[in-house]
Amino acid sequence: MTREESAMTKEEQIAALRAQTWREDLRKSRKTKERTDIPRVEMNEQDAEVRSHNHLEVNLGLTAEQARQEAARCLDCANPTCILGCPVEIQIPSFVKNIERGDFLEAARVLKETSALPAVCGRVCPQEKQCEAQCIYTLKLGKPSVAIGHLERFAADYERESGRISVPELAPKNGKKVAVVGSGPAGLSFAGDMAKYGYEVMVFEALHEIGGVLKYGIPEFRLPNSVVDVEIDNLRQMGVQFMTNCIVGRTITIDELKEQGYCGIFVGSGAGLPNFMNIPGENLIHILSSNEYLTRVNLMDAANPESDTPVAMGKCVAVIGGGNTAMDSVRTAKRLGAERAMIVYRRSEEEMPARVEEVKHAKEEGIEFLTLHNPLEYYGDERGRVKQMRLQKMELGQPDDSGRRRPVPIPGAEVVIDVDQVIVSVGVSPNPLIPNSVEGLEISRWGTIVVDDNMRSSIPAIYAGGDIVRGGATVILAMGDGRKAAASMHAQLSGKE
């Protein structure tokens, strides 16, 4: 972004980009009808039977031809509502039109102006609820939206595979130091933006790997670690520094950070604490949280015989919950050799919080769905290993506070099912480690850090974002928080507030 552009309002920026000669020529090159007649591209996928036995990525990406054809569907609207649906406000038509004209590297550059992790977002964002939900095809034409997510992934992958990775333009160094707590999506997004503003950025990570949930949580078949590493490397190129094995508030205190010259701190420590249901038998052997299961398999590589970390590979695995993490866990269990891998969810499929794509993929891979079932109790064998679960059958009643129909037990309708592993995936709570270690920080009764509209906490030098503020959300919302916090901290530290 040039200096003139940054002085414009958002609307002026969008209009200026759209008025570029090449964009105008490209718009005129095809009639609207020609564009809207093109069917939406289908993502290329690994065969379901094959992929359910390997850990390779399910989605294979688009070819250049597919991407250009899909990009041609975009009408390059004067009022691009898609941008409003994006938590980090990517210049969507701008990158899409660059794909249409075949300038894929420029498309990637546009993405990186606002997103620190485009290859990640192109894979894991719920676009169908965000940008694509606001696309004119969805809003006005009654047709499937432009496949913005697939195109984002295409541009980011193209750049990475080309080896010609651009480093975003950085403001001159301003000599100020800021610290980031946690290297997940919120922290990385914040770090990238602060580096662009000219700050010296140090990211502190408790685990031995950088990436937070992108590494320990999301499985290889949905987001390969190598993809995450390239994006992290890009941040390193921008001057961002990382320190692993370090907990702010424990290994080093906030006061020590201030003494070392850090003038702003962003906390993106995530929603670390897994919830359990507190039902009888839940502490039996081989009943574990999705966090533990996925961390063992993803971060610790436990399924690899070379790894020292063990993981039990159940033959009959039940995953409790209906979110993306539940889908990740059950599909992982299938890949580790489960003969029966099932989702147990207390509502119906319609209320499932998981992305439609994840549910579809899971079904194709042979995952069973026990919807309208809720665990009541687990039974163990003589050594305390889980062998059975007792489930309550449910039906849908009146809508509850969330607007979804409330599941109610059907009296007397219970079923007992044999299992040898149960993965509990019923949400997470904010990690208390950081909030408890920082005196004077205002915490809500849910354990989240309280922030104002600018992501600033009750302590002026400390900002926060992502799940430690939201309590459990998505990668892209966390990134949006990081971006917002960076803008407000920059305004504060440069005296523009």
Residues that bind other proteins (CB under 8 A): 206-208, 216, 244-247, 250-253, 272-274, 276, 278, 282-283, 285-286, 288-289, 291-292, 295-296, 300-301, 304, 306-310, 312, 383-384, 431-433
Spatial separation of the C-alpha atoms in residues 125 and 353, rounded to whole Å: 13
User: Contact at 8 Å (CB) between 211 and 231?
Assistant: no
Q: Shortest Cβ distance from residue 258 to other proteins (Å)?
A: 16
Q: Shortest Cβ distance from residue 130 to other proteins (Å)?
A: 27
User: Contact at 8 Å (CB) between 185 and 479?
Assistant: yes
Spatial separation of the C-alpha atoms in residues 336 and 54, rounded to whole Å: 8
Joined together, the tokens standing for residue 138 give: 């969805």
Give the SS3 label for residue 368: strand
Q: Shortest Cβ distance from residue 377 to other proteins (Å)?
A: 15
Q: Shortest Cβ distance from residue 68 to other proteins (Å)?
A: 41
Query: Which string of DSSP letters, residue by residue, matches 212-278?
Result: THHHHTS-TTTS-HHHHHHHHHHHHHTT-EEE-S--BTTTB-HHHHHHTTEEEEEE-----EE----
Give the SS3 label for residue 354: coil
Q: Shortest Cβ distance from residue 384 to other proteins (Å)?
A: 4
Nearer residue to other proteins within complex by CB, 106 or 467: 467
Phi, psi of 317 (to 5 degrees): -115, 130
Q: Shortest Cβ distance from residue 422 to other proteins (Å)?
A: 13
Spatial separation of the C-alpha atoms in residues 380 and 396, rounded to whole Å: 31
Three-point CA angle 37, 80, 148, nearest 5° = 60
Q: What's the full length of the chain, in residues?
A: 497
Spatial separation of the C-alpha atoms in residues 267 and 333, rounded to whole Å: 33
Q: Shortest Cβ distance from residue 250 to other proteins (Å)?
A: 6
Q: Quick one: which of 211, 163, 222, 207 has its CA closest to 187?
A: 211
Nearer residue to other proteins within complex by CB, 26 or 312: 312
Q: Shortest Cβ distance from residue 471 to other proteins (Å)?
A: 15
Residue 161: CA count within 13 A, CB half-sphere: 11
Q: Quick one: which of 359, 348, 325 has its CA closest to 467?
A: 325
Environment class of 397 (CB within 10 Å of its CB; exposed 0-12, middle 13-18, buried 19+): exposed
Nearer residue to other proteins within complex by CB, 151 or 257: 257
Nearer residue to other proteins within complex by CB, 36 or 251: 251
DSSP β-ladder status, 428-429 and 273-274? antiparallel
Spatial separation of the C-alpha atoms in residues 219 and 318, rounded to whole Å: 18
Nearer residue to other proteins within complex by CB, 96 or 303: 303
Give residue 179's identity as a one-letter amino acid code: A
Spatial separation of the C-alpha atoms in residues 260 and 253, rounded to whole Å: 11
Spatial separation of the C-alpha atoms in residues 62 and 45, rounded to whole Å: 10
Nearer residue to other proteins within complex by CB, 162 or 304: 304
Q: Shortest Cβ distance from residue 302 to other proteins (Å)?
A: 8
Q: Shortest Cβ distance from residue 34 to other proteins (Å)?
A: 52
Q: Shortest Cβ distance from residue 313 to other proteins (Å)?
A: 10
Q: Shortest Cβ distance from residue 249 to other proteins (Å)?
A: 10
Nearer residue to other proteins within complex by CB, 235 or 300: 300
User: Which alpha helices (H) appear in 92-245, and where do they start and end?
Assistant: 92-100, 104-114, 118-124, 136, 148-162, 185-197, 213-216, 225-237
